[in-house]
A = this chain, B = another copy of it.
Amino acid sequence: MTAAADDLIRIRREIHAFAELPFLEIRTAALVVRELRGLPCSIRLGRDAMRPDVVEGYPDAAARAAAAERAIAAGADPGLAQAFAEHGTAVIADIEGSRPGPTWAIRFDMDALPIEESSEPDHLPARLGFRSTTGAMHACGHDGHVAIGLALARRLADRDFAGRVRLLFQPAEESVRGAAAMISAGAADGVDRFLAIHLGNTLPSGTMVGSAVGLQATTKFAAVFRGVAAHAAGAPQHGRNAIAAAAVATTGILALPRSSDGVTNVNVGTISGGSATNIIPDRAALTGEVRSDAEAVCAQLYDGVTRVVAAAAAMHDVGHELRATARSTTIASDDELVDQVLACAERRFGSERLRRTAVLSASDDASLWAAEVQRAGGLATYVLVGSGNPAPHHNPRFDIDESSMSVGLSWLEDIVREAR
């Protein structure tokens, strides 16, 4: 194993062991800065890298302070941790090539999921001792993405390429809120070529896909129902039952009609409500999402959520609020760029492991980066590197084949170096 591969693995495992939730990637961002130090890149942090104020449901100060405390206890630089807690966890690193050329932006997402990682002995991170101990888990490969991004920065430190490379270390991809926050801070300005990379997708390890297709537009939402409390036996008729409304809304959302125009994914991801067994519950809340590979179907599904939530509230005579907390869209990769990245891959790896497209049944706010860059006349694509996952994404036993990180690293390096 090469030293570079060693490095990839070491960094990935360090990140993996301390998985952090969206917008709380404080130790991870501090690690990114630590690894970038000494490299010939200009770094933007905090308000220069993202705008927390445009984010729905941004963690409150107490949650951020607690995350900073945990990050510091786990070795993060205290000053950096405080700054990330205060101003946001995004990190942008620009490396200037030695020759004129296009501005590349490559996105590496940093956040983990609220999943308790498997501790079964045949789960490699558990067996080798880098299982996450934070309660969150990198069950989507973002740990590998960050490792690739940092290794790429080291590789490109020779500046032997045309143009400029912007490495986007993005928070909160899972909740599709980080990209918009960074774009709002100008992070996509002046970008000519946008790439997102993702490990996994149940492809054989090392498979290289030039363009993920079928990426799903999504709207995340939060609904609150406000009723009236009453003694559950003394005066149930005076209560207005917020949990009953939330239950009806949940079933209604799950039963939204299918469409022949696209997939129709729906989820109620969280629910909460009520205060005691003997009180008619006066408050309930739920969060969820809709998705489709067709933007119009996604919009219809959200119309459906709007209708269902209002009707469930009306049925139980309670008030309600519904907010769209995050949105993402579909991606239409640019053929020109897809051709280019596939040519790079073929030159180094041959054609056997290449695929032009593969369906990615997921959402990703890389779509917002792509749309922003394309709107300004640039090109974009979203590449995949197979990683032989033993379990599906978002599963407590998800893992990546760590050797796939080298494939991704070399591919990105080649793309940048070969561009004119």
Contact = CB atoms under 8 A, between A and B. Distances in A.
A98 interface: no
A231 B392 contact: yes
Interface stretch (A37-45, A149-157, A252-260): A252-260
A275 B279 contact: no
Interface in A257-286: 257-261, 263-281, 284
A189 B56 CA distance: 59
A170 interface: no
28 contacts: A113-B275, A113-B276, A174-B278, A175-B276, A230-B392, A231-B361, A232-B265, A233-B362, A237-B257, A237-B297, A238-B392, A243-B250, A244-B255, A246-B247, A247-B248, A247-B268, A251-B251, A258-B263, A258-B264, A267-B278, A269-B275, A269-B278, A269-B279, A271-B281, A307-B314, A307-B315, A310-B314, A311-B312
Q: Is the interface of A mostly helix, strand, loop or mixed?
A: mixed
Contacts of A297: 237
A4 interface: no
B255 A269 contact: no
A239 interface: yes
A233 B308 contact: no
A89 interface: no
A244 B233 contact: no
A289 interface: yes
B234 A394 contact: yes
A348 to B, nearest CB: 29
Given A115-B229, A271-B272, A277 B220 contact: yes
A246 B244 CA distance: 11
Interface of A: 113-115, 174-175, 216, 218, 220-221, 229-239, 241, 243-244, 246-248, 250-252, 254-255, 257-261, 263-281, 284, 287-289, 291, 297, 300, 307-308, 310-312, 314-315, 317, 325, 361-363, 392-396
A267 B277 CA distance: 7
A231 B394 CA distance: 5
Given A269-B279, A394-B278, A235 B250 contact: no
A281 B258 contact: no
A68 B247 CA distance: 36
A316 to B, nearest CB: 8
Nearest to A289: B277
A214 to B, nearest CB: 10
A48 B149 CA distance: 64
A276 B174 CA distance: 9
Contacts of A175: 276-278
A307 B231 CA distance: 22
A361 B234 contact: yes
Most chain B CB atoms below 10 A, which of A252, A264, A300 = A252
A97 to B, nearest CB: 36
Given A232-B269, A237-B258, A248-B251, 13 more contacts: A113-B279, A229-B394, A231-B395, A232-B289, A234-B392, A236-B267, A247-B248, A248-B315, A258-B258, A268-B281, A271-B284, A278-B363, A279-B394
Contact of A233 (B238, B243, B363, B395): B363
Nearest to A237: B259
Contacts of A267: 232, 236, 277-281
Nearest to A300: B237
Closest 5 pairs (CB-CB, A-B): A311-B315, A270-B274, A254-B255, A269-B277, A237-B259
